[in-house]
Amino acid sequence: MSLFRDVLGADESLFRNEIALDYSFVPKLVPYRESEQHNVASCIRPLFQQRNGRNMFIFGQPGIGKTVAVRHVLNELEEQTDDILPIYINCWQHNTSFKVFLELCDAVGYKFTQNKRSDELFLVARQIINKKSAVFVFDEIDKLQDYDFLYSILEEVYRKAVIAIANDKGWLSSLDSRIRSRLMPEPLEFRPYSLEETKGIIMQRMEHAFSQGVWADDALGLVAGKAFEMHDIRRGLFLMRQAGLAAEGKASKRITTEHVLSSIEALDDFSIKDESELDDEGRLILEIIKKNSGRKIGDVYKAYQDAGGKAVYRTFQRRIDRFEGDRFVVLKRIAGGTEGKTTIVNLANDRKLTEF
C-alpha cells in the first residue's frame, strides 16, 4: 500500500517563496496594465527635460492593481535616473499633513525630525526636493484627514508630477476648490480585470510563490474564479496562501479544491472593517497586537497565550493574516536571517478604520 505517498515530509514546503503572496510584493512584470503604466509615465516624462510634469488622478475599486502598477513605474524611474525623486506615500498609514511631511523627510534622507513642527519639516524637505524634480504618489489619498500638505507641495515644489490614487472617483469633487484648481489632474480609471486576466495574474503569482506542480489545475481555477467574481486580486492571493497553509496543515503534497473550499469560508470574514464588528477572540488578539506592535509574530503569540488566549499557533496565524486583509495590521515578512523566516506584526494605524 502507498498510504503515505502523498504526505509532505517534515522539512518540505509547498511554498517556494511565500513573500510573493504579500499584497505589497511588486512582481517584475505587471501585465494587463501596460497602457495605464504608459499613461503614468507620460505624466512624468517632461521632468526628464527639466520641465514640469503633469498631475494625475487614478481611481478604481480595491484590489485591481492601481498600487502595483504605479509602484512598478516608480521602480523603472528609479533605475533610469537619479535626477527625479520617486516619492511614494500611503496616506492610509500616514493620514495627516504632519505625518506626510515626516514621510517626505524620510524619503529625502533627512533624519533630524524630532520636535519639529509641520512647517519646519516641509521647509527642509522642500529645499532638498527643489534641487531636483520629484514624482509624488499619494496612494489612498481619500483616507487623509487634511490636505494642507497638498497645497504646500503644489505651491512650493518647482518641478513635479503629483499622482493621487483613490478607490472612489468622487474624491476629486470633494476637494476644496483652492486645491483642486491647482491640482487639475488627468483622470485615469482602472477597470476590473477580465476572467482571463485574473487567471493570468493568479498563475504568475503561483509560479513565484509555490514549488512546481503543487497546485491542482481545478483548484487554481477555483481561486481565479473567486478572485474574478469579487473583482479583487488581493482576495485571490489571500485564498492561495490560505489554501497552501491548509494543505500543509494536512501534510498534503498537492493543493486541491478541498483546500481552496475550506479557505473560501475564511473569506467570509475578510470584509470586517471595523473593530466593533470583531468577535471576542478577534478583539483579544487585536488588544494584544496594540500592546506588542512591531514585534515578531511568535512573541505576539506568547503574549496572547499569557493573556489567556487558547487558539493554537496555526489558527492564531490565520487570524493575523485576515487582520492584514482587513487592514488592522501591516505584516512584514522577513526571509532568511539567523532565525529563518519570520513575520513582524505592526498595528496598521491609530486612525479610524474606515472602508477601503
Ligand X SMILES: Nc1ncnc2c1ncn2[C@@H]1O[C@H](COP(=O)(O)OP(=O)(O)O)[C@@H](O)[C@H]1O
Query: Which parts of this chain interact with ligand X (CB under 6 A)?
Result: 23, 25, 27, 30-33, 62-68, 201, 204, 233-234, 237
Asked if 242 and 269 touch (Cβ cutoff 8 Å), the reply is: no
Q: Residue 255: name its binding partner from ligand X, Mg ion, none (Cβ under 5 to 8 Å by kind).
A: none
234 versus 318: smaller Cβ distance to ligand X: 234
Asked if 159 and 83 touch (Cβ cutoff 8 Å), the reply is: no
* Minimum distance, C-beta of residue 1 to Mg ion, in the bound complex (Å): 51
Is the four-CA dihedral 152, 155, 161, 166 of positive or negative sign?
positive
Q: How far apart are CA 254 and CA 251, in angstroms?
A: 9
Cell numbers describing residue 49: 527635460
The binding site for Mg ion (CB under 5 A) comprises 67
* Minimum distance, C-beta of residue 342 to ligand X, in the bound complex (Å): 21
62 versus 225: smaller Cβ distance to ligand X: 62
Q: Residue 65: name its binding partner from ligand X, Mg ion, none (Cβ under 5 to 8 Å by kind).
A: ligand X
DSSP state for residue 349 in the 8-state scheme: -
Dmax (CA) for the chain in angstroms is: 77
Beta pairing, strands 84-90 & 186-189: unpaired
Cell numbers describing residue 93: 498609514
Give me the DSSP letters along 191-206.
PPPPHHHHHHHHHHHH
103 versus 324: smaller Cβ distance to ligand X: 324
* Minimum distance, C-beta of residue 300 to Mg ion, in the bound complex (Å): 26
* Minimum distance, C-beta of residue 327 to Mg ion, in the bound complex (Å): 11
Q: Residue 225: name its binding partner from Mg ion, ligand X, none (Cβ under 5 to 8 Å by kind).
A: none
* Minimum distance, C-beta of residue 269 to ligand X, in the bound complex (Å): 19
Asked if 349 and 92 touch (Cβ cutoff 8 Å), the reply is: yes
* Minimum distance, C-beta of residue 205 to ligand X, in the bound complex (Å): 7
Q: Residue 68: name its binding partner from Mg ion, ligand X, none (Cβ under 5 to 8 Å by kind).
A: ligand X
19 versus 68: smaller Cβ distance to ligand X: 68
Q: How far apart are CA 110 and CA 104, in angstroms?
A: 9
Task: Tell me the CA distances in angstroms from 113 to 91, 110, 217, 260, one per residue in order.
Answer: 19, 7, 52, 47
101 versus 138: smaller Cβ distance to ligand X: 138
Q: Residue 214: name its binding partner from ligand X, Mg ion, none (Cβ under 5 to 8 Å by kind).
A: none
64 versus 164: smaller Cβ distance to ligand X: 64
Asked if 84 and 121 touch (Cβ cutoff 8 Å), the reply is: no
67 versus 292: smaller Cβ distance to Mg ion: 67
DSSP state for residue 5 in the 8-state scheme: T
* Minimum distance, C-beta of residue 126 to ligand X, in the bound complex (Å): 28
Shortest Cβ contact with Mg ion: which residue?
67
